[in-house]
């Protein structure tokens, strides 16, 4: 492998032992019992999970352990799903108020009183909060103060959660109309009348607005004009909100079915039958689709085929929409519990809150293909994406097709156990693990999967660690950080403190080792497809590689 030949569209990281979780996909990690039904969808940010319950409380839980960090009592049921952004947790309540709570303490920073129950989930974009109320109104509030910027009155309850993109705010109303408003002024840009109430929250992408209706149809509208591009008719009401990924629209219906539709034409790609109403809005991440159903289960589906990967039965209906972050799936249930389930091994992709982001666009980064030339000889490499199939044979299929034997030619390393050989010691390749790969014949290898979003933590053990690069573009080593317990330092300061060695080492086939450091070396940036030897002088450190 040569450094200049790699295509920079990758995503990797984490060490071998840390990657290989003891929990299998779909396993329960923890659950937290609230005092009533959890209709609300969790929001995951900063290692915390925030969610509402019909007991009137907003809960903040530790994302790793499920322990309670704080709770805040509102004056009514909390069916609204929180948006966690910028140190604030924004959520509505049946008491008619919109709250901003401090993300660390749960202390209210402000509340804004509307004239009806707030079931809609706040969208936060450009220092504004957009939310609907059962007083028939869409509100725009100042995110810092809660002051009213503007309001727009529809013909019925606004149960739908606004979506914000490119200066537009789109929301549905139970009057059957989809409204598109100017995000700055609240002026009406266009409206579209469906044949039923609109509980569904719109998703925005590719110049289109996708939304469901109680008339059983899924609509694709032109985002600029509101003109109908296509509609797909299901056999019952569509309360679910769409998830967009690649060229597909994913949505559930009360006819007990999850649909995958072609985003351009509305043609059916596949459908999956659940055992109850598919009320939950799907979450799309790492080529998997996660959704709840009124059959009491959380379902994980193959996003390409609709095949069931796994399901987990809770003790009640699951209308809460899953959140996916840090390789875990979080969802609420009518049994009053919040569930944390294992997503897939070292899943770095995220759909951390209702409609994916704080603006509720409902649009996910599509899976991409990354390619790099691997040379004949020894390659010190890492895989660049989260592959849908992480088995060695699938990831390195082009190498095998070029006439190379993979058995006894792929090696992983960890400081505690030394070298591990495929297939005797492992059968899957994990993000961020460094691998020695011996090839007789060169090959252009590719991996298909999602690019990682956000900073990426890589656990380190004492001794030499083989680590990979977790992003699709180079990242300067100087911008990386090292954490030891509660203390975090820039990489150069961690070197000065004696936590890690100055230089990392990468290997060029035919040219040998080269040094990488913050300054004064041949290279100063981590590159996709590469693995690096990093020497840590103490156990329990974490290397964080920032998003480019």
Rounded CA separation 356/84 (Å): 11
Placement of tokens 């509505």 in the chain: 92
Are 501 and 395 within one domain? yes
- Peptide linkage before 62 cis (omega within 30 of 0): no
**Helix extents (H) in 267-396:** 392-395
Residue 452: predicted pLDDT: 66
Tokens, residue 352: 């951390």
Residue 287: predicted pLDDT: 79
Are 45 and 173 within one domain? no
Are 53 and 179 within one domain? no
Kindly state whether residue 400 falls inside one of the protein's structural domains: yes
Kindly state whether residue 108 falls inside one of the protein's structural domains: yes
Residue 160: predicted pLDDT: 97
- Whole-angstrom CA distances from 44 to 35, 41, 284, 357, 519 are 21, 10, 15, 10, 36
Residue 245: predicted pLDDT: 86
Residue 4: predicted pLDDT: 31
User: What is the distance, to the nearest Å, from the Cα of residue 350 to the centroid of all Cα atoms in its chain?
Assistant: 2
Residue 196: predicted pLDDT: 97
Rounded CA separation 253/14 (Å): 38
Residue 276: predicted pLDDT: 96
Q: What is this structure's pTM?
A: 0.70
Q: Domain count of the chain?
A: 3
Are 107 and 141 within one domain? no
Kindly state whether residue 382 falls inside one of the protein's structural domains: yes
Are 85 and 195 within one domain? no
Residue 505: predicted pLDDT: 96
Residue 251: predicted pLDDT: 98
Rounded CA separation 65/299 (Å): 22
The last residue of one of the domains, among 154, 171, 206, is 206
Inter-residue contact 94 to 77 (CB < 8 Å): yes
- Whole-angstrom CA distances from 60 to 57, 74, 352, 452 are 10, 14, 14, 25
Are 85 and 130 within one domain? no
Helix H or strand E encompassing 398: helix 397-401
The last residue of one of the domains, among 101, 116, 131, is 116
Residue 388: predicted pLDDT: 66
305 CB contacts (<8 Å, ≥6 apart)? 270
Give the CA count within 13 Å in the CB-facing half-sphere of 411: 14
Kindly state whether residue 270 falls inside one of the protein's structural domains: no
Kindly state whether residue 153 falls inside one of the protein's structural domains: yes
Rounded CA separation 548/191 (Å): 39
Rounded CA separation 302/260 (Å): 11
Q: What is the 3-state secondary structure (H, E, C) of 93-140?
A: CCCCEEEEEECCCCCEEEEEECCCCCCCCCEEECCEEEEECCCCEEEE
CATH code, 145: 2.40.10.480
Residue 328: predicted pLDDT: 92
Q: What is the DSSP string of 324-336?
A: EETTEEEEE-TTS
Range of the domain at 167: 120-206
Specify the pairing of strand 410-414 against strand 418-421: antiparallel
Are 79 and 156 within one domain? no
Tokens, residue 415: 């400081």
Kindly state whether residue 24 falls inside one of the protein's structural domains: no
Residue 349: predicted pLDDT: 56
Are 458 and 482 within one domain? yes
Helix H or strand E encompassing 496: helix 491-496
Tens of pLDDT along the chain (548 residues) come to 433 322 222 222 233 333 334 578 899 999 999 999 999 999 999 899 999 999 999 999 999 999 999 999 999 999 999 999 989 999 999 999 999 999 999 999 999 999 999 999 999 999 999 999 999 999 999 999 999 999 999 999 999 999 999 899 999 999 999 999 999 999 999 999 999 999 999 999 989 999 999 999 999 999 999 999 999 999 999 999 999 987 899 999 999 999 999 999 999 999 999 999 999 999 998 678 999 999 999 999 998 899 999 999 999 999 999 999 888 999 999 999 999 999 864 344 578 898 888 888 888 765 567 889 999 999 999 987 777 678 999 999 999 999 999 999 999 998 888 999 999 999 998 877 899 999 999 999 988 776 666 677 889 999 999 998 877 778 899 999 999 999 999 999 999 999 999 999 999 998 999 999 999 998 999 998 999 999 999 999 999 988 76
Kindly state whether residue 340 falls inside one of the protein's structural domains: no
Give the CA count within 13 Å in the CB-facing half-sphere of 487: 8
* pLDDT 10s digits, 36-63: 999 999 999 989 999 999 999 999 999 9
DSSP-based three-state secondary structure for 212: strand
The last residue of one of the domains, among 75, 90, 116, is 116
Are 131 and 112 within one domain? no
Residue 390: predicted pLDDT: 83
User: 247 pairs with which residues across the strands?
Assistant: none
Residue 1: predicted pLDDT: 47
Provide the total of helices (H) and of strands (E) in the chain, helices listed first. Answer: 4, 49
Residue 471: predicted pLDDT: 76
Rounded CA separation 215/198 (Å): 9
Q: Where are the beta strands (DSSP E) in 114-216?
A: 123-125, 128-132, 137-142, 148-153, 163-165, 168-172, 177-182, 188-193, 203-205, 208-212
Are 79 and 184 within one domain? no
Are 91 and 200 within one domain? no
Kindly state whether residue 271 falls inside one of the protein's structural domains: no
Q: What is the percent of the chain with per-residue pLDDT over 90, rounded to a whole number?
A: 76
Give the residue among 356, 246, 373, 227 at the shortest CA–CA distance from 304: 246
Specify the pairing of strand 363-364 against strand 243-245: parallel
Are 79 and 186 within one domain? no
């Amino acid at each position: 492998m040569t450094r200049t030949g790699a295509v920079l569209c990758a995503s990797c990281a984490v060490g071998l032992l840390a990657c290989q979780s003891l929990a299998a996909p779909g396993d329960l990690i923890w659950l937290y019992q609230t005092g009533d039904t959890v209709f609300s969808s969790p929001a995951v940010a900063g290692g915390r999970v925030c969610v509402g319950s019909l007991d009137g409380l907003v809960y903040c839980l530790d994302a790793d352990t499920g322990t309670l960090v704080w709770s805040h009592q509102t004056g009514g049921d909390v069916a609204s799903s929180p948006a966690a952004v910028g140190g604030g947790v924004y959520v509505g309540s049946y008491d008619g108020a919109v709250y901003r709570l401090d993300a660390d303490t749960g202390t209210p920073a402000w509340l804004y009183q509307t004239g009806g129950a707030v079931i809609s989930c706040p969208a936060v974009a450009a220092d504004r909060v957009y939310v609907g109320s059962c007083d028939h109104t869409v509100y725009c509030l100042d995110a810092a103060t809660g002051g009213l910027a503007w309001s727009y009155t529809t013909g019925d309850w606004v149960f739908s959660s606004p979506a914000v993109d490119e200066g537009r705010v789109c929301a549905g109303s139970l009057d059957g109309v989809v409204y598109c408003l100017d995000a700055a002024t609240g002026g009406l840009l266009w409206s579209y009348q469906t044949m039923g109430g609109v509980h569904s929250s719109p998703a925005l992408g590719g110049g289109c607005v996708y939304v469901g209706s109680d008339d059983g149809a899924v609509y694709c509208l032109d985002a600029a004009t509101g003109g109908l591009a296509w509609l797909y008719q299901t056999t019952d009401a569509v309360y679910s909100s769409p998830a967009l990924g690649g060229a597909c629209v994913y949505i559930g219906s009360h006819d007990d079915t999850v649909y995958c539709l072609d985003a351009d034409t509305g043609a059916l790609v596949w459908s999956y039958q659940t055992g109850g109403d598919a009320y939950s809005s799907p979450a799309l991440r790492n080529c998997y689709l996660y959704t709840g159903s009124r059959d009491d289960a959380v379902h994980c589906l193959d996003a390409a085929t609709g095949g069931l990967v796994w399901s987990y039965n809770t003790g009640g209906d699951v209308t809460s929409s899953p959140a996916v972050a840090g390789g875990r799936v979080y969802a609420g249930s009518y049994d009053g519990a919040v569930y944390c389930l294992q997503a897939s091994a070292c899943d770095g992709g995220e759909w951390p809150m209702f409609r994916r982001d704080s603006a509720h666009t409902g649009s996910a980064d599509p899976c991409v293909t990354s390619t790099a030339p691997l040379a004949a000889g020894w390659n010190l490499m890492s895989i660049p994406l989260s592959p849908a199939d992480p088995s060695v044979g699938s990831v390195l299929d082009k190498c095998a097709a070029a006439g190379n034997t993979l058995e006894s030619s792929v090696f992983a390393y960890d400081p505690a156990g030394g070298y591990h050989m495929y297939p005797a010691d492992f059968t899957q390749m994990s993000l961020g693990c460094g691998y020695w790969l011996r090839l007789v014949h060169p090959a252009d290898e590719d991996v298909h999967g999602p690019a990682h979003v956000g900073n990426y933590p890589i656990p380190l053990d004492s001794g030499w660690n083989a680590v990979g690069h977790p992003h699709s573009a180079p990242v300067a080593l100087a911008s990386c950080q090292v954490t030891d317990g509660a203390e975090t330092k820039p990489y150069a300061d961690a070197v000065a403190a004696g936590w890690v060695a100055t230089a990392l080492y990468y290997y060029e086939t035919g040219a040998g080792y080269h040094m990488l450091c913050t300054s004064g070396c041949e290279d100063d940036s981590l590159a996709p497809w590469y693995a690096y030897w990093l020497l840590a002088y103490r156990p329990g450190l974490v290397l964080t590689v920032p998003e480019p």
